[in-house]
Structure 1
Amino acid sequence: MKNNRRDFLKLTGMAGLTVAGTGVLNGIASEPENKANVAPEQAARIQHFNMSGYAAPKLDVVRIGFIGLGNRGPAHLGQVSILEGVDIKALCDLRQDRLDSAKKRIEKTNFKPDTYTGKEDWKMVCERKDIDLIFIATPWELHTPMAVYAMNQGKHVCIEVPAAKTVEECWQLVETSESTKMHCMMMENACYGFYELLMLNLAREGFFGEIIHGEGAYIHHLLYGHFSKDKYYDQWRLKENIGRNGNLYPTHGLGPIAQVMNINRGDKFEYLVSVSGNDFMMNDLAKKMAGKDDFYKQYVDKPFRGSMNTTTIRTNMGRTIMLQHDVTSPRPKSDGLVISGTKATAIQFPVEKISVAREATPETWRGSDAQTWITDDEFKALQKKYEPNIVKKLGEIAKQVGAHGGGDFLMDWRTIDCLRNGLPLDQDVYDAALWSAIGPLTEWSVANQMTVKIPDFTAGSWKTNKPMDIAIANGGNTKVIRE
């Protein structure tokens, strides 16, 4: 193993991190002799304030500022704009055309937000006294700096995924949220898909028995979008795929599994091991495009990340998770959700199915006949019986106005409703930090061909934190207002 402690700190972005009153880095082990599979250790940390289950004072009206209106920001803007009890105060983006498009999106509403286009104007938005919540939908490298600044200005923050790029940034989010008591929610919309919500409800009802294993993925053919000159501002997403080799986008596949397994709330991640294959497509495309356009010569022979990354995680309770990441090969889009338990297994792709284990004895067992798919009618009956309250209440309108099958709208509605009713959010800063940290930790594992220990961002409170459910046991009174 050539990489030593200094290399780990540099790779994960922890170099130079100082945290008052804690020993976050004191326990990072130096390179062990002849023990390449021994991961860096993290020392005990003192928690300033437990944000898990924290309910901030309720806001009768949630006053919002949006920073970043390129791809994800406009969707949040449009969905929030049809909810009662909100006031859109500010829109911020470097590009005037994106601001103009965003304003047009809400031109039929009564909102009259101020607009900001300067490079540092986002700070002005965060500093405004008449804003309670900041939506951040900018390139990844800006997520944590903006969120930390906003929380220090007394603002709750909703950050697009991933919330952070480095382990150091994950700690910054945790420390800032705890010290300010401001919510920091990563907007992981995969947790609000109708199928994912059904699986969570089934798990809570004991349908799967003991959860054994989960699988998730981000399989999405984005090859040509990455190389597009106008899809992502300054081609920032393509640049993220250069010099970083691991699972760069783990949260879509991981979030729903973590919630089913009560991670940070009864169980925790212990360690991971990650493997990446070669890049089979990105450099080849760069060469082809450079042959027609000199602009793309800058991307030829760059260290693009491997086409497929596979990561395995083990939890404290002995469960396992497999994550995959592939955004270049021509495969059908899939989050690859699998929930496997002692009594039943659910598989989302290519067709949503549930396998139910049969009671068997040594005399009656017949190999694969020990399990079977339930019928379509049985699945529909299961959906009806265990349909989450939030889907019953808002499912139809969510499909009409929300992206990703309606999950986006459920996420935005639920977040605003919790803030208005003074309820804990479904995802807290520990979820944002943990799910995001998997990215840089996979990079370390791939680079060193080793197992890596996963930090406990809850400082041990995972043992007593209560599970959170996406339901409407409380609140649920925010109305949808449409023309």
Structure 2
Amino acid sequence: MKNNRRDFLKLAGLAGVGITGSALLPGCATTKAAVPTDIIRRQAGKTYHQQFNMSGYAAPKIDTVRIGYIGLGNRGSAAVERITYIQGIEIKGLCDIRPEMIAKTKKRIEGSGYNPNEYTGSADAWKQLCERDDIDLIYIATPWHLHTPIALYAMEHGKHVATEIPAATTVEDCWKLVETSERTKKHCVMLENCCYDFFEMLTLNMARQGFFGEIVHCEGAYIHHLLESLFSKDARYDLWRLKENTKRNGNLYPTHGLGPICQVMDINRGDSMEYLVSMESNDFMMHDKAVELAATDSSYKPYVQAHFRGNMNTTSIRTRKGRTIMLQHDVTSPRPYSRIHLVSGTKATAQKYPLEPRIAINHEGWVSPEEFKKLEERYTPDIVKKIGEMAKKVGGHGGMDFLMDWRLIDCLRNGLPMDMDVYDAAAWSVIGPLSEWSVANRSGSIDIPDFTNGAWQHNKPVDISLQQGGTTGVRNKK
């Protein structure tokens, strides 16, 4: 079926945005796809024969998790430092195309007792790290276009994978991740840290215990003013994220908002996303910024001719059980940060942004701060009770990064299923390319692939109660 799907892509000439990864005309982020909607929809929803169900899969226990890190920019170097506070791990190797980033990362972990090998000097030095026999987990924090090739290579060489978001940027790469994870029986976990933020964990536990009743509708977003940093040569290697915004037009970064609400809605474990429609505004800021910078720095002149993605993308999703999701993405407008995180059920509602997290029961308005505190004490999950205070001390977006890393290691050490498996990595990431196609086709609807091949109907939610696991220790911050 894999060959059939790829043959179909070639035969149909799928020029839909993001579907093949080479759909856009040079420098254009708004080219209309030429293939009829119904053909794209059939292909996007195509099923295949599942080789092995990775949902709920418990890999053999690993007493000491040996880790190799690839990509040591802001995210990667911070991840290396965080992991030194978790017991039961070894840092075996560090890889970055820039040797100075390895040196800076080693400086951050001085005194930890770890002296990992270095891999640098070429664009594919990461392959040497993946090929080592004494590594259990490859941790990927590179630019987006490298996530899938590194993950595939690592799994083929017997390694579990944890990759930064998004796991893939094309439909075909999402399928490759699923097929490879199933065939090798290696975990492919997306590092969606927002699933481990404290209010998100609280609402997940509340949903699991029926507090909201039936979930009807959820909203998520990534609204984050990054205009200056997108154009900063110091913020990201080779302006890679700015380049992403010149060749793709859709929700390029869906998972911060989508991941937590997918867990609340038991997506891939009782329900499944069925189709989406997506609409994008024009660009009102990035072109002007390019013109401003090019006036004093000629290296920005090529961007004056670029066609940037719009400021705001709004994507609506319907699930197979008839529930709805609204996602937004805006990284250039001067708005306060927001991931929205709204959970609306038949009995109660919760919303994180703006201002302070809030909960409402029935239609009676938001509960008082005192009642909110009681609900928080009642529904705070065990993982937060056990690791939350330590996470806040270590840091990483307020502690959610440390919670994510600790949970990943604890599951590997105890042979437990992952909170976020390869089907989540694929389903959450595929919203990017599918939203691009919809935007390019006047917000046409497009089916979302069922990467579980129907297994979502009997897959079970992952237990977050720590009745199993929770044995991994932590080191106190100095």
TM over 0.5: yes
**Aligned residue type for 1:400:** K
For 2:455, the equivalent position in structure 1 comes to 461
TM-score, normalised on structure 2? Answer: 0.92
**Aligned residue type for 1:295:** S
SS at match of 1:100: helix
**Aligned residue type for 1:69:** L
**Whole-angstrom CA distance in 2 between matches of 1:205 and 1:433:** 27
**Divergent runs of 4+, >2 A:** 7-11, 29-32, 35-44
Shift of 1:13: 1.7
User: Is the 8 Å Cα contact of residues 216 and 338 (structure 1) preserved in structure 2?
Assistant: yes
Shift of 1:14: 7.1
Shift of 1:384: 0.4
**Whole-angstrom CA distance in 2 between matches of 1:271 and 1:123:** 36
**Aligned residue type for 2:435:** T
For 1:426, the equivalent position in structure 2 comes to 419
Shift of 1:404: 1.3
**Aligned residue type for 1:6:** G
**Aligned residue type for 2:407:** R
User: Is the 8 Å Cα contact of residues 47 and 450 (structure 2) preserved in structure 1?
Assistant: no
Q: How does 1:149-188 map to 2 (within 5 A)?
A: 149-188=153-192
Q: Does 1:7 align with 2:11?
A: no
Deviations 1:277-305 (A, max 9, x none): 00000000100111111111010031100
Q: How does 1:360-439 map to 2 (within 5 A)?
A: 370-439=363-432
Shift of 1:153: 0.2
The gaps in structure 1 that reach 5 residues or longer are 17-28, 358-369
Task: Tell me the percent identity.
Answer: 60
User: Is the 8 Å Cα contact of residues 42 and 455 (structure 1) preserved in structure 2?
Assistant: yes
Q: 1:38 to 1:391 in 2, by over 3 A?
A: closer
SS at match of 1:262: coil
User: Is the 8 Å Cα contact of residues 30 and 40 (structure 1) preserved in structure 2?
Assistant: no
SS at match of 1:271: strand
**Whole-angstrom CA distance in 1 between matches of 2:159 and 2:40:** 42
Q: 1:417 to 1:439 in 2, by over 3 A?
A: same
SS at match of 2:325: strand
**Whole-angstrom CA distance in 2 between matches of 1:12 and 1:176:** 19
Count residues with an aligned counterpart.
454
SS at match of 1:196: helix
Among 273, 279, 294, the residue aligned to 1:290: 294
User: Is the 8 Å Cα contact of residues 269 and 461 (structure 2) preserved in structure 1?
Assistant: yes
For 1:363, the equivalent position in structure 2 comes to none
For 2:224, the equivalent position in structure 1 comes to 220
SS at match of 2:247: coil
The gaps in structure 2 that reach 5 residues or longer are 1-10, 24-33
**Aligned residue type for 1:178:** E
Shift of 1:116: 1.0
SS at match of 2:349: strand
Among 302, 324, 338, the residue aligned to 1:320: 324
Alignment RMSD (CA, Å): 1.8
User: Is the 8 Å Cα contact of residues 37 and 451 (structure 1) preserved in structure 2?
Assistant: no
For 1:349, the equivalent position in structure 2 comes to 353
**Whole-angstrom CA distance in 2 between matches of 1:15 and 1:151:** 25
For 2:91, the equivalent position in structure 1 comes to 88
**Whole-angstrom CA distance in 2 between matches of 1:15 and 1:218:** 25
User: Is the 8 Å Cα contact of residues 169 and 429 (structure 2) preserved in structure 1?
Assistant: yes
Q: 1:153 to 1:72 in 2, by over 3 A?
A: same
User: Is the 8 Å Cα contact of residues 40 and 452 (structure 1) preserved in structure 2?
Assistant: no
Q: 1:97 to 1:451 in 2, by over 3 A?
A: same
TM-score, normalised on structure 1? Answer: 0.91
SS at match of 2:388: helix
For 1:106, the equivalent position in structure 2 comes to 109
